Amino acid sequence: YHFSEQMIDGYVRRWITYVPRTYLSAQAEAPLVVVSHGYSASMYALAEESHLADVADKYGFIVVFPQGYLNERVDGPFVPVPTWNSGLFQIGAPETDDVSFIRQVIDLTKANYKIDGSRVYGTGHSNGGSMTWLLSRKLTGTFAAIAPIGYMSAGEDTDDMSLLVPSWSFKGEFDGDGMDISEGTNNRNVLEFWKRWNGVAGAQEQVA
């Protein structure tokens, strides 16, 4: 694990990079997986609880765990904890540009390690899941595929839909809307949006 701290867009930002044991001996460029923690969580907790280091060691990819910025908004249901400013989770001051932050982290990782730019992937849980959806929309062409967990997020008609964004979304029974994909639910709206984006409007859904 390598800890990084740098001033980005006027804020001190932090992230952890996990480099697998196989990286130094490998001749080929490594894939990169960007993993965003959930609301009130941290890069430290997710790095430990996800066991992605074990998977990275097995398959030879580098993992980046970026850290959300402290949300100073304390009204309503919000408390001062690390949060991604992902649209769904609108934080108060400071209003960090987390898309810019993660884009720069990806660029720095590519500069510091041998990364296969065609195999950069994104995932995240809850607030980090919504951040992953946002990154795929705003950084089109950066991610080969995404796999958000625990929250589904649609985009806007103004998004650039010229590039495909292969996606695999995971939800549990007690996530918002659960696994209900009936008309009018957020799940349904998101599915329809991303089917339009990827040109598979006639595809059928299956709930396991």
Q: What is the pLDDT of residue 207?
A: 64
Q: Which tens digit of pLDDT belongs to each residue from 79-133?
A: 788 989 887 666 655 678 999 999 999 999 999 999 999 999 999 999 999 999 9
| Residue 45 burial by Cβ neighbours in a 10 Å radius (0-12, 13-18, 19+) | middle
Q: What is the pLDDT of residue 93?
A: 58
- Omega before 148 within 30 of 0, i.e. cis: no
- Tens digits of residue pLDDT in 169-191: 888 777 766 777 778 888 888 88
Residues 43-90: tens digit of each pLDDT: 999 999 999 999 999 999 999 999 999 887 666 666 788 989 887 666
Question: Which own/partner pairs from 191-198 qualify as long-range (CB within 8 Å, at least 24 positions apart)?
Answer: 191/152, 192/154, 193/154, 193/155, 194/154, 194/165, 194/167, 196/161, 197/155, 197/159, 197/161, 197/164, 197/165, 198/164, 198/165, 198/166, 198/167
Task: Decide if pLDDT at 156 tops 80.
Answer: yes
Q: Residue 205, Cβ neighbours under 10 Å: how many?
A: 10
pLDDT per position as a tens digit, 55-66? 999 999 999 999
Q: Which residues, 6+ apart, have CB-to-CB distance to 77 below 8 Å?
A: none
CA distance 121 to 132: 10
Tokens of 3: 């800890």
pLDDT at 120: 98
- Reduce the DSSP state of residue 203 to 3 states and report it: coil
Q: Which pLDDT score, from 0 to 100, does residue 76 have?
A: 63
**What pLDDT, on a 0 to 100 scale, did the predictor assign at position 67?**
97
Cβ neighbours of residue 50 closer than 8 Å, sequence gap 6 or more: 35
| pTM summary value | 0.91
Q: Nearest 5°: phi and psi at 121?
A: -125, 155
